[in-house]
């Protein structure tokens, strides 16, 4: 299958680009093997692999609480949720692989510190209520983004997102259930829930990325149907849904300027501390080093396992039954 | 050099009368391992009754665009070997979906390109947006015995905590918080 | 049910559940740290299934004495736990974890097979549910033992090392608890002796086919479930820390 990635120096680039954009405008999906601009491919690999890395690194802050979950049911739910994150990383790496990049290469980029992943996972999980809050706010924010990406013009990314969205609804629900329960619980539970909201609210708002005016990729991503909404639009949707629910639960939001605007129907937030955001993106968040170190260790300790199975397969004949 | 193992395409059948559909891929080292892995990755939730796996490198894929550009017929004369069976998979819609191509049947041909031509002639009821052609002897299936089907796929139905409905009764209805804004996820 | 039979059944259900809870704990320590994504997902499946089995066994006990499963799991001390020592051992490397899981799965699958016809209907019903998952676990871990045993020199060496450590611990799975003979006499649970024979036969064949040698000097074999390894105390301290953090909390 000859894969065609067009560059502006190609003689037919402009013509093909017009056809390509017309296909996207008609709502057609671009599939592996179809002509696409090299820049489209590059942006997709960047986004999808970052997204995959985020799922995989995102297993760590929550995974750390599996052994401390307070009931058998919560433990089971949390294992299922963290497992889904592994699964979603798996689906996303697959989507990126269809663009001709190997998982080995993507992991190398992650482990060497070259590739980015969502900054939210560079914050620590300090109490059990963080698990509920991550489900409610962090997954709530992720779902907003992912629902949008399910409409993405690239077939494999879109399909991965549809599957992920279907699975993730429970992540959001279980988190919300917990926080609402603790908000009405004992004084200690209540205080723990409020403390978690205080720490996760702002990082959750930063998850959608910089304001549109500071997001250089947004225009081309929207034009090529990779994103269908801007960062600020998705952020606004998230606040509109979650702010009233948090307040309704009797909890407070750590933004003294937050207010409801009757005219637009939007909840208007105060200024986001983008210095903090860029610090964390730049590797200086509280957990950047530990998260990467945990991934590197698992990768290194798993090397002999991966080699052993390849060695086995090389020795063995096929044993399963063909169709 | 790191290895993440070879990639296998996975086809899942949801119920006995539905076709196997391409759901994604897994990294595994041999057919048995790929099937076990596919079960863990793609049957964590209902529904499934059967899985097929095939090495990604054994899958021949063409999109409608490639076929229109003559890229599929260009190599048709390359196949001079003996005839063998090929499984045919097809995608027919741009609609929102979590699966790619569906199994539509099989053909006998001497090369994947010839198999594609036969598939185009035989499965012509609707426009195909993409085709996958896979040599039948390169596709491995999960054990169809009722005991294995039960063991591999039935327990997922009991894991109701993975369904959002499990949590549906919690909190006040979202409509309470609405102030004339857009439609939200169903609560 | 006679009261001494009932007491024995409560103790047996507790032992069954405790094994699952502690093994699930050890396996869950891998979540997020597995050797490859696919296997991280696979082990997380096993953990969920084990927690589900524990919930079923505690649930059967609850029907008999009204005890709350979460109270049992999160508010009993180490000396009240009735798990075997094999499941308490630290998770070790991937070979250690896969071998332990295989030895346990084989025991559990054979035990369940024999327990399907229990005269105690609630137990027979639970067995029907659990056995489906256990068959898959066994296929999975059997495949791993074969592959690690026949993979590289290193994987074979690591697996052999794990076997040297675990073989005698695994024998404790076949030591009846006090009063178990009453349950066997009533047909409520199967006799462990023939299960052990089948387990030895199957495991020996499979381990040898994987290129492993059974330990010549197996060493210490724990017997009483009233005693534990020195690991259990700290395992429970971690596992129970949230539940015990707020004594007033009614729901989590």
pLDDT tens, C146-194?
999 999 999 999 999 999 999 999 999 999 999 999 999 999 999 999 9
Task: Write out the residue range of the structural domain in which residue A122 sits.
Answer: 5-315
- Nearest Cβ partner for B37 among C42, C135, C147: C42
Residue A163 placed within a domain: yes
Q: Please tell me the predicted confidence (pLDDT) of residue B179.
A: 46
Straight-line distance from the first to the last Cα atom of chain B, in angstroms, rounded to the nearest whole number: 48
**Is the pLDDT at A40 greater than 90, yes or no?**
yes
Using a CB-CB cut-off of 8 Å, the residues of chain C touching B29 are 147
Straight-line distance from the first to the last Cα atom of chain A, in angstroms, rounded to the nearest whole number: 25
**Is the pLDDT at A256 greater than 60, yes or no?**
yes
Closest chain A residue by Cα to residue C36: A302
Residue A320 placed within a domain: no
Q: With contact defined as beta carbons under 8 Å apart, do C141 and C98 qualify?
A: yes
Q: What is the CA radius of gyration of chain A?
A: 21
Residue A263 placed within a domain: yes
Closest chain A residue by Cα to residue B184: A241
pLDDT tens digits, A77-114: 999 999 999 999 999 999 999 999 999 999 999 999 99
Number of domains in chain B: 1
Say whether B4 and A306 touch across the interface (CB within 8 A). Answer: yes
Q: With contact defined as beta carbons under 8 Å apart, do A215 and A234 qualify?
A: no
Q: How many CB atoms lie within 10 A of CB B117?
A: 16
> Nearest-CA distance from C247 to chain A in Å?
10
Written in H, E and C, the secondary structure of chain A is CCCCEECCCCCCHHHHHHHHHHHHHCCCCECCCCCEEHHHHHHHHHHHHHHHHHHHHHHHHHHCCHHHCCCHHHHHHHHHHHHHHHHHHHHHHHHHHCCCCCHHHHHHHHHCCCCCCCHHHHCCCCCCHHHHHHHHHHHHHHHHHHHHHCCCCEHHHHHHHHHHHHHHHHHHHHHHHHHHHHHCCCHHHHHHHHHHHHHHHHHHHHCCCCCHHHCCCHHHHHHCCCCCCCHHHHHHHHHHHHHHHHHHCCCCCCCCCCEEECCCCEEECCCCCHHHHHHHHHHHCCCHHHHHHHHHHHHHHCHHHHHHHHHHHHHCCCCCCEC
Q: Please tell me the predicted confidence (pLDDT) of residue B82.
A: 86
Using a CB-CB cut-off of 8 Å, the residues of chain B touching A74 are none
Residue C152 placed within a domain: yes
Strand partners, A266: A261
Say whether C28 and A79 touch across the interface (CB within 8 A). Answer: yes
Confidence of residue B178 (pLDDT cuts 50, 70, 90): very low
Chains sharing 3 or more CB pairs under 8 A with chain C = A, B
Q: Please tell me the predicted confidence (pLDDT) of residue B185.
A: 38
Residue B186 placed within a domain: no
Q: Please tell me the predicted confidence (pLDDT) of residue B81.
A: 73
**Nearest alpha-carbon partner for B128 in B137, B136, B118:** B118
Cβ-based neighbours of C200, under 8 Å, separated by 6 or more: none
What single string gives the DSSP state of each residue in C37-91? HHHHHHHHHHHHHHHHHHHHHHHHHHHHH---HHHHHHH--GGG----SGGGS--
Residue B1 placed within a domain: no
**Is the pLDDT at C118 greater than 80, yes or no?**
yes
Residue C42 placed within a domain: yes
Both tokens of B161, joined, read 């905590």
Distance CA B70, CA B113 (A): 11
CB-based contact (8 Å) between B150 and chain A? no
Average pLDDT over residues A233-259: 97
Percent of chain A with pLDDT over 70: 97
Using a CB-CB cut-off of 8 Å, the residues of chain C touching A89 are 37
Closest chain C residue by Cα to residue A56: C32
* B80 vs A272 pLDDT, higher one: A272
Chains sharing 3 or more CB pairs under 8 A with chain B = A, C
Best mutation target, B60, B85, B94, to test chain A (most A CBs within 10 A): B94
Residue A321 placed within a domain: no
Closest chain A residue by Cα to residue C22: A67
Strand partners, B103: B89
Distance CA B75, CA B178 (A): 60
* B1 vs B127 pLDDT, higher one: B127
Distance CA C81, CA A104 (A): 44
Residue B55 placed within a domain: yes
- Nearest Cβ partner for B152 among C38, C52, C136: C136
Confidence of residue B184 (pLDDT cuts 50, 70, 90): very low
Q: How many CB atoms lie within 10 A of CB C63?
A: 10
Helix (H) or strand (E) run with residue B12 in it: strand B7-13
Cβ-based neighbours of A235, under 8 Å, separated by 6 or more: A205, A208
DSSP one-letter code for B163: S
B42 phi and psi angles, rounded to 5 deg = -110, 0
Strand partners, A261: A266
Confidence of residue A3 (pLDDT cuts 50, 70, 90): low
Both tokens of C128, joined, read 């029907």
Q: Write down the mean pLDDT value for chain B.
A: 89
CB-based contact (8 Å) between C204 and chain B? no
pLDDT tens digits, C190-240: 999 999 999 999 999 999 999 999 998 889 999 999 999 999 999 999 999
Both tokens of C104, joined, read 């346990």
Distance CA C42, CA C44 (A): 5
Residue C170 placed within a domain: yes
Number of domains in chain C: 1
CB-based contact (8 Å) between A210 and chain B? no
Using a CB-CB cut-off of 8 Å, the residues of chain A touching B2 are 104, 107-108, 299, 303, 306
Q: Which of residues 158-177 of A touch B (CB under 8 A)?
A: 158-160, 162-163, 166-167, 169-170, 172-174, 176-177
Distance CA C9, CA C121 (A): 13
- Nearest Cβ partner for B161 among A77, A172, A181: A77
Sign of CA dihedral A264, A266, A270, A274: negative
**Is the pLDDT at B182 greater than 70, yes or no?**
no
Q: Please tell me the predicted confidence (pLDDT) of residue A322.
A: 63
Say whether A323 and B130 touch across the interface (CB within 8 A). Answer: no
Q: Please tell me the predicted confidence (pLDDT) of residue A31.
A: 97
Both tokens of A273, joined, read 């501390």
Strand partners, B109: B84
Task: Write out the residue range of the structural domain in which residue C221 sits.
Answer: 3-245
Written in H, E and C, the secondary structure of B113-157 is HHHHHHHHHHCCCCCCCEEEEEEHHHEEECCCCHHHHHHHHCHHH
The full length of chain C comes to: 252
Both tokens of C238, joined, read 């971690």
**Is the pLDDT at B116 greater than 80, yes or no?**
yes
Average pLDDT over residues C126-148: 98
Closest chain C residue by Cα to residue A185: C249
Distance CA C3, CA B7 (A): 58
ipTM of the complex: 0.97
**Is the pLDDT at B75 greater than 80, yes or no?**
no
Tell me the C-alpha to C-alpha distance, in Å, between residue B16 and each of A158, A214, B39: 27, 52, 17
Q: With contact defined as beta carbons under 8 Å apart, do B90 and B133 qualify?
A: no
Using a CB-CB cut-off of 8 Å, the residues of chain A touching B44 are 80, 83-84, 87
Say whether C36 and B4 touch across the interface (CB within 8 A). Answer: yes
Q: What angle do CA B127, B130, B133 make, to 5 degrees?
A: 115
Q: Please tell me the predicted confidence (pLDDT) of residue B180.
A: 39
Which CATH number fits the domain that encloses residue A135? 1.20.1260.10
Q: How many CB atoms lie within 10 A of CB B93?
A: 11
Say whether A87 and B41 touch across the interface (CB within 8 A). Answer: yes
**Nearest alpha-carbon partner for A167 in A87, A97, A72, A53:** A87
Confidence of residue B71 (pLDDT cuts 50, 70, 90): confident
pLDDT tens digits, B34-58: 999 999 999 999 999 999 999 999 9
Residue A180 placed within a domain: yes
Using a CB-CB cut-off of 8 Å, the residues of chain B touching C136 are 39, 151-152, 155
> Residue A95: how many CA atoms within 13 Å on its side-chain side?
35
Average pLDDT over residues A254-266: 97
Which CATH number fits the domain that encloses residue C180? 1.20.1260.10
Residue B47, preceding peptide bond in cis (omega within 30° of 0): yes
Number of domains in chain A: 1
Task: Write out the residue range of the structural domain in which residue B35 sits.
Answer: 7-146+153-177
On the 0-12 / 13-18 / 19+ scale of CB atoms within 10 A, A150 is: buried
Confidence of residue B70 (pLDDT cuts 50, 70, 90): confident
Rounded to 10 deg, the angle between the A103-111 and A288-301 helix axes is: 140
Residue A323 placed within a domain: no
Percent of chain C with pLDDT over 70: 100
On the 0-12 / 13-18 / 19+ scale of CB atoms within 10 A, C122 is: middle
Residue C251 placed within a domain: no
> Residue B158: how many CA atoms within 13 Å on its side-chain side?
19
pLDDT tens digits, A46-56: 999 999 999 99
Residue B182 placed within a domain: no
């Amino acid at each position: 299958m000859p894969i065609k990635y067009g560059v502006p120096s190609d003689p037919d680039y402009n013509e093909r680009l017009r056809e390509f954009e017309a296909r996207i405008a008609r709502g057609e999906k671009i599939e592996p093997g179809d002509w696409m601009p090299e820049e489209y491919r590059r942006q997709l690999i960047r986004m999808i692999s970052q997204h995959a890395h985020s799922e995989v690194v995102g297993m760590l802050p929550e995974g750390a609480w599996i052994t401390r979950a307070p009931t058998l049911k919560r433990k089971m739910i949390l294992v299922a949720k963290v497992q889904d994150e592994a699964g979603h990383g798996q689906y996303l790496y697959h989507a990126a692989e269809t663009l001709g990049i190997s998982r080995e290469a993507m992991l190398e980029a992650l482990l060497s510190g070259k590739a980015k992943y969502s900054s939210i996972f560079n914050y620590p999980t300090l109490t059990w209520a963080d698990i509920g809050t991550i489900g409610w706010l962090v997954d709530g924010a992720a779902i907003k983004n992912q629902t949008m990406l399910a409409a993405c013009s690239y077939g494999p990314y879109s399909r991965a997102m549809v599957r992920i969205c279907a699975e993730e609804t429970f992540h959001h629900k279980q988190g919300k259930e917990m926080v609402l329960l603790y908000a009405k619980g004992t004084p200690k539970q209540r205080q723990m829930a409020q403390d978690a909201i205080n720490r996760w609210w702002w990082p959750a708002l930063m998850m959608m990325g910089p304001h549109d005016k500071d997001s250089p990729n947004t225009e081309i991503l929207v034009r090529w149907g990779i994103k269908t909404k801007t960062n600020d639009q998705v952020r606004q949707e998230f606040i509109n849904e979650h702010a009233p629910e948090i307040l309704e639960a009797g909890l407070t939001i750590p933004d003294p300027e937050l207010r409801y605007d009757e005219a637009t129907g939007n909840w208007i937030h105060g200024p986001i501390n983008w210095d903090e955001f860029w610090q964390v993106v730049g590797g200086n968040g509280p957990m950047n080093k530990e998260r990467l170190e945990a991934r590197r260790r698992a990768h290194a300790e798993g090397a002999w396992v991966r080699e052993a199975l390849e060695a086995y397969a090389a020795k063995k004949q096929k044993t399963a039954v063909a169709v | 050099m790191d290895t993440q193992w070879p990639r296998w395409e996975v086809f899942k059948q949801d119920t006995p009368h539905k076709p196997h559909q391409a759901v994604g891929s897994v990294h595994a080292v041999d057919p048995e391992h790929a099937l076990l892995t596919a079960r863990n990755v793609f049957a964590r939730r209902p529904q499934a009754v059967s899985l097929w796996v095939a090495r990604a490198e054994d899958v021949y894929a063409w999109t409608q665009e490639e076929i229109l550009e003559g890229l599929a017929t260009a190599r048709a004369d390359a196949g001079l070997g003996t005839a063998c069976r090929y499984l045919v998979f097809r995608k027919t819609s741009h609609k929102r979906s979590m699966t790619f191509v569906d199994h539509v049947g099989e053909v006998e041909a001497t090369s994947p390109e010839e198999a594609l031509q036969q598939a185009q002639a035989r499965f012509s009821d609707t426009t195909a947006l993409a085709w996958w052609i896979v040599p039948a002897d390169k596709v491995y299936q999960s054990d169809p015995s009722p005991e294995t089907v039960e063991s591999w796929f039935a327990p997922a139905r009991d894991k109701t905590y993975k369904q959002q409905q499990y949590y549906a009764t919690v909190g006040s209805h979202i409509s309470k918080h609405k102030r004339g804004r857009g439609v939200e996820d169903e609560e | 049910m006679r009261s001494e039979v009932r007491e024995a059944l409560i103790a047996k259900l507790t032992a069954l559940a405790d094994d699952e809870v502690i093994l699930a704990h050890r396996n869950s320590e891998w979540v997020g740290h597995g050797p490859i994504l696919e296997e991280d997902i696979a082990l997380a499946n096993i953990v969920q299934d084990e927690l589900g089995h524990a919930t079923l066994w505690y649930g059967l006990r609850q029907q008999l004495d009204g005890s709350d499963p979460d109270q049992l799991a999160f508010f009993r001390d180490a000396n009240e736990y009735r798990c075997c020592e094999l499941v308490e051992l630290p998770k070790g490397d991937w070979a250690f974890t896969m071998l332990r899981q295989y030895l346990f799965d084989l025991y559990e699958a054979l035990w369940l097979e024999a327990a399907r016809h229990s005269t105690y209907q609630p137990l027979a019903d639970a067995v029907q549910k659990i056995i489906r998952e256990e068959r898959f676990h066994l296929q999975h871990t059997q495949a791993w033992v074969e592959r690690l045993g026949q993979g590289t020199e290193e994987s074979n060496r690591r697996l052999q090392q794990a076997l040297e450590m675990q073989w005698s611990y695994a024998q404790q799975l076949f030591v009846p608890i006090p009063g178990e003979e009453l349950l066997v006499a009533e047909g409520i649970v199967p006799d462990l002796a023939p299960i052990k024979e089948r387990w030895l036969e199957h495991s020996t064949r499979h381990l040898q086919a994987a290129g492993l040698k059974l330990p010549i000097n197996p060493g210490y074999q724990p017997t009483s479930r009233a005693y534990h390894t020195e690991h259990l105390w700290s395992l429970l301290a971690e596992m129970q820390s949230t539940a015990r953090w707020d004594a007033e909390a009614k729901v989590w």
